[in-house]
């Protein structure tokens, strides 16, 4: 009997039997089998499945194996989307090879990234072949001639074109130069940019069309219509892992942010000093293109008012952001003209004029049937680059007009600060479900949504509704943990000051020092703000150092991975982490034995999107605390707790330092999310003694 003649369930049972027989250390997991069977049923009949699969289930193999077997029977390719690169790396290095061995199928698996993650050799040649331009770039950015030579060699020799190879080679390019040699959606869309000319983004997409399984991230899936209309529409199944991120990523992808720094960067990529107009000017035949040179000079001048008026608009927006306020919702009933009477209109006029000037410059250079341009690929690239920047300026003007419609319903309009502290305009949709349904779920016949934490309460209904789905049309399952958590985890609550109490930071700091001073085991402290993190770090640094304990404190904007690696390798370390440490990091075994939750992770009510969603709930007659704040906090709380136990042999202690879990009416909901019923204690000494007894 061939694979095509077998039922998927039969093939699945045979594959698991091969794993148990031939893979050393592979164990039968009931939850994994259950999830794989549920997914197989959906793959056979079509439809939607949502599965919450806690750590230890082995969900990756549970969804990969049935999907691979479906592909082997002749279905369309399998599209897998994740949120983090960490999970992508795990799939490629461990889970996919295991699933392929189990299935016996030599399928082709690729990872597809966004265009700007790949080299465009044609764009790179246009810059690096002009030695003076390259050297000018090195002067501006501190890139020496040796680095430029190594970059040029890499451009010619790379077989993948993945720009992350450069950092592994010790070549660290400034962002502006990196973007100048990367694939660009505005310039690489034309027929002149092909895999044969070194456009690795198009080459990667071509390879993806030939693959049996394609792995992408949520941001790429939701931002690239081309991927949805080809890879997704032609797929046999769509797997959305880390699906709890989907709503937030969709909101970001459907949103718009624009400020003076973005416009300055675009002007620099367009002007005659080092941008597209400089390339265009160098592509002209000398002495034969006076009118084209004049048009280029005029376009260069047209960019300057854009930056000037953008700066004026930023100064007008300052009045909405008092000192120390990072972001603020646009005041209800206040028109943009009341905040910026002149700058916005002048900026819009300047954007339109700059776009027309760029178009005239490109048209002038291309006139006389191209006889004004030097022969060769450089002139073609210069024209494509100029027209690409033109398209980008038109898009920016449209974005600014959408940002000015602050009266539009269902949208959060707000002002925040960019990386340099300049005010910036933003818009985000409050609901993304309809768009997700239309652009993602409607294109897939078989879809799985899964995560270790997919719901905040007892039902997956609210989580599905946020994505435009319902429990009536979606098969659902919430699998129990395969671990005996009540025997692995000791849960404690400190009955001390509440987070709003000025004494809270001191009490938390004293507790950290007291616990670590007794047991000297790796301790992770999860906080909800950098302000609290910095205050705690300043209090515990000296006493921990005196005890020989390493303190690792996350800085604003610092990636979690390097700190997590250092913490994992330590033996007596304290790690203070914020948002990025509440999920997505693994600390198995002795790398994490004590977890402190500083406060219950309710969203900040003044966050503009949270504030706008709360207003919308109130207008509909609802309760924002019950319908928004509690579900968000519970989901994040469950994610944080999940950092502690990663294997069946782990053992640890979780301490909730926020006493509201024992005092507030909503406390029982958080208690229900703990691995074991907590014991309330009244002092750090009592907690330290309990830790000592639990972790001898």
**429 Rama class: left (phi>0) / alpha (psi -120 to 50) / beta:** beta
CA 181-186-192 angle, 5° bins: 75
Neighbours of 348 (CB within 10 A): 16
Q: Which of 324, 317, 248, 336 is nearest to 610 (CA)?
A: 248
The pair of three-digit structure tokens given for residue 154, joined into one six-digit string: 């890499």
Query: How far is residue 339's CA from residue 459's CA, in Å, rounded to a whole number?
Result: 44
Interval 144-162 mean pLDDT: 88
Which of 267, 458, 240, 253 shows the shortest CA–CA distance to 347? 267
* pLDDT tens per residue, range 55-93: 999 999 999 999 999 999 999 999 999 998 889 999 999
- Of residues 622 and 367, more confidence is placed in 622
Burial 423-441 (b: 16+ CB within 10 A, else e): bbbbbbbebbbebbeebbb
Question: Does the residue 508 lie in any domain?
Answer: yes
Whether residue 583 is contained in a domain is answered as yes
Question: 102 and 140 share a domain?
Answer: no
> Which sign does the torsion angle of CA 292, 296, 297, 299 carry?
positive
pLDDT of residue 597: 98
Q: How far apart are CA 596 and CA 508, in angstroms?
A: 9
Cα gap 133→99, rounded to integer Å: 49
Backbone torsions φ then ψ of 139, nearest 5 degrees: -65, -40
If asked whether residues 500 and 636 sit together in one domain, one would say: yes
Q: Do 543 and 493 share a structural domain? A: yes
Does residue 197 register a pLDDT over 80? no
Q: Give CA separation, 464 vs 138, 431, 456, 605, 652, in Å.
A: 51, 12, 12, 23, 33
Q: Is 98 in the same domain as 48?
A: yes
459 and 574 share a domain? no
Coil, strand or helix at 486: helix
pLDDT at 193 over 80: no
Q: What is the pLDDT of residue 148?
A: 82
- Token pair listed for 205: 């997409």
Q: What are phi and psi of 595, to 5 degrees?
A: -120, 125
- Edge-to-edge order in the sheet of strand 109-111: 109-111, 213-217, 78-82, 237-240, 446-451, 47-52, 474-478
Average pLDDT over residues 1-7: 58
What does the pLDDT look like over 377-400, one tens digit per residue? 788 888 999 999 999 999 999 999
User: Are 677 and 635 contained in the same domain?
Assistant: yes
| Distance between CA atoms of residues 545 and 537, nearest Å | 11
Output the pLDDT for position 1.
44
Whether residue 438 lies inside any domain: the answer is no
pLDDT at 134 over 50: no
Other beta carbons within 10 angstroms of residue 547's beta carbon come to 12
Residue 437 lies in a domain: no
Which residue has better confidence, 123 or 139? 123
Do 280 and 383 lie in one domain? The reply is yes
Considering the domain architecture, whether residues 405 and 256 belong to the same structural domain is answered as yes
Distance of alpha carbon 317 from alpha carbon 542, whole angstroms? 42
Statement: residue 315 has pLDDT above 60? yes
Q: How far is CA 243 from CA 76, 240, 443, 599, in A?
A: 22, 6, 17, 25
Residue 3 pLDDT grade (very low, low, confident, very high; cuts 50, 70, 90)? low
Among 170-184, 301-315, 436-450, 539-553, the minimum mean pLDDT is found in 170-184
User: What CA–CA distance (Å, rounded) separates 120 from 132?
Assistant: 20
Q: Note whether 358 and 266 are same-domain residues.
A: yes
Domain span at residue 684? 485-694
Pair (169, 315) in one structural domain = no
The whole-angstrom separation of Cα 266 and Cα 358 is 13
Judge contact between 644 and 654, C-beta under 8 A.
yes
Report the distance separating Cα 562 and Cα 62, nearest Å: 30
CA distance 248 to 218: 10
- Three-class DSSP category at 80: strand
The DSSP result for 334-355, as a single string, is: --HHHH-SSHHHHHHHHHHHHH
* Domain assignment present for 244: no
Pairing of strands 327-329, 411-417: antiparallel
Task: Tell me the pLDDT band of 132, cut-offs 50, 70 and 90.
Answer: very low
Mean pLDDT of 609-618: 96
At 50 the pLDDT is: 98
| Structural tokens at position 543 | 């006493």
- For residue 538, the model assigns a pLDDT of 97
- Separation of alpha carbons 222 and 206, rounded Å: 19
Cα–Cα distance for residue pair 40/580, rounded to 1 Å: 33
Query: Could you tell me the pLDDT band of residue 143, with boundaries at 50, 70 and 90?
Result: low
Contact 436, 468 (CB under 8 A): yes
- Mean pLDDT, range 639-649, rounded to an integer: 92
How many domains are contained in the chain? 4
137 has pLDDT over 60: no
Q: Are residues 159 and 228 in the same domain?
A: no
On the question of pLDDT at 124 being above 80, the answer is: yes
Q: How far apart are CA 165 and CA 117, in angstroms?
A: 10
- Whether 241 is covered by a domain: the verdict is no
455 and 398 in a single domain? The answer is no
> What is the Cα–Cα distance from 382 to 362, expressed in whole angstroms?
9
Question: Does residue 170 contact residue 205 with C-beta atoms inside 8 Å?
Answer: no
Half-sphere exposure at residue 303, Cβ-oriented, CA atoms within 13 angstroms: 25
CB-CB contact of 389 with 269 (8 Å): yes
Sign of CA dihedral 343, 348, 349, 350: positive
Question: Is 355 among the domain residues?
Answer: yes
Confirm whether 615 is domain-assigned.
yes
């Amino acid at each position: 009997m061939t694979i095509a003649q077998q039922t998927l369930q039969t093939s699945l049972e045979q594959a698991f039997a091969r794993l148990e027989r031939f893979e050393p250390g592979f164990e039968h997991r009931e939850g994994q089998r259950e999830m794989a069977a549920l997914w197989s049923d959906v793959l056979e009949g079509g439809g939607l499945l949502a599965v919450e699969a806690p750590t230890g289930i082995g969900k990756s193999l549970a969804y990969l194996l049935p999907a691979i077997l479906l592909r082997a029977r002749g279905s369309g390719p399998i599209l897998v989307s994740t949120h983090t690169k960490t999970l992508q790396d795990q799939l490629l290095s461990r889970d996919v090879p295991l699933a392929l061995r189990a299935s016996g199928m030599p399928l082709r698996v690729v990872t597809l990234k966004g265009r700007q993650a790949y080299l465009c050799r044609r764009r790179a040649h246009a810059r690096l072949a002009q030695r003076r331009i390259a050297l000018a770039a090195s002067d501006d950015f501190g890139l020496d001639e040796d680095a430029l030579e190594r970059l040029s060699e890499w451009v010619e020799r790379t077989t993948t074109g993945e720009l992350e190879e450069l950092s592994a080679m010790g070549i660290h390019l400034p962002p502006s130069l990196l973007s100048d040699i990367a694939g660009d959606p505005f310039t690489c869309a034309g027929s002149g940019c092909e895999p044969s000319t070194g456009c690795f983004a198009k080459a990667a997409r071509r390879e993806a069309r030939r693959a049996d399984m394609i792995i992408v991230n949520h941001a790429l899936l939701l931002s690239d219509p081309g991927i949805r209309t080809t890879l997704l529409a032609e797929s046999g199944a769509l797997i959305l892992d880390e699906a709890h991120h989907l709503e937030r990523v969709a909101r970001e992808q459907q949103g718009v942010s624009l400020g003076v720094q973005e416009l300055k960067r675009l002007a620099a990529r367009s002007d005659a000093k080092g941008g597209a107009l400089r390339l265009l000017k160098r592509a002209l035949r000398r002495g034969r293109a006076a009118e084209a040179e004049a048009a280029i000079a005029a376009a260069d001048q047209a960019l300057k008012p854009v930056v000037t008026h953008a700066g004026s608009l930023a100064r007008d927006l300052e009045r909405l952001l008092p000192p120390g306020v990072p972001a603020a919702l646009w005041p209800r009933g206040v028109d943009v003209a009341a905040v910026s009477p002149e700058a916005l209109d002048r900026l819009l006029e300047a954007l339109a004029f700059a776009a027309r000037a760029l178009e005239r410059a490109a048209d002038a250079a291309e006139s006389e049937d191209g006889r004004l341009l030097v022969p060769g690929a450089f002139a073609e690239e210069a024209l494509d680059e100029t027209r690409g920047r033109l398209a980008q300026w038109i898009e920016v003007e449209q974005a600014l007009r959408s940002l000015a419609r602050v009266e539009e319903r269902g949208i959060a309009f707000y002002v925040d600060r960019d990386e340099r502290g300049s005010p910036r305009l933003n818009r985000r949709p409050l609901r993304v479900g309809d768009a997700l349904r239309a652009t993602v779920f409607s294109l897939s016949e078989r879809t799985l949504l899964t995560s270790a934490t997919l719901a905040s309460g007892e039902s997956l209904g609210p989580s599905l509704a946020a994505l435009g789905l319902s429990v009536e049309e979606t098969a659902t399952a919430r699998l129990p943990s395969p671990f005996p958590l009540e025997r692995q985890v000791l849960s404690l609550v400190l009955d001390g000051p509440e987070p709003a109490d000025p004494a809270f930071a001191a009490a938390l700091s004293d507790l950290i020092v007291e616990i670590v001073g007794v047991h000297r085991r790796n301790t992770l402290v999860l906080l909800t703000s950098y302000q609290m993190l910095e205050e705690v770090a300043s209090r515990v640094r000296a006493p921990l150092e005196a005890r020989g304990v390493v303190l690792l404190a996350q800085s604003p904007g610092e990636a979690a991975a390097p700190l997590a690696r250092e913490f994992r390798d330590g033996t007596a370390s304290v790690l203070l982490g914020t948002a990025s440490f509440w999920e997505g990091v693994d600390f198995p075994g002795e790398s994490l034995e004590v977890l402190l939750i500083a406060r219950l992770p309710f969203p900040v009510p003044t966050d503009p999107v949270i504030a706008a969603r709360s207003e919308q709930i109130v207008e509909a007659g609802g309760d924002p605390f019950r319908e928004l704040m509690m579900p968000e906090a519970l989901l994040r709380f469950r994610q944080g707790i999940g950092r502690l136990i990663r294997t069946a042999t782990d053992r640890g202690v979780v301490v909730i330092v926020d006493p509201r879990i024992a005092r507030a009416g909503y406390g029982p909901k958080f208690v229900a999310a703990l691995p074991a019923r907590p014991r309330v204690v009244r002092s750090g000494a009592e907690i330290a003694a309990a830790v000592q007894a639990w972790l001898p």
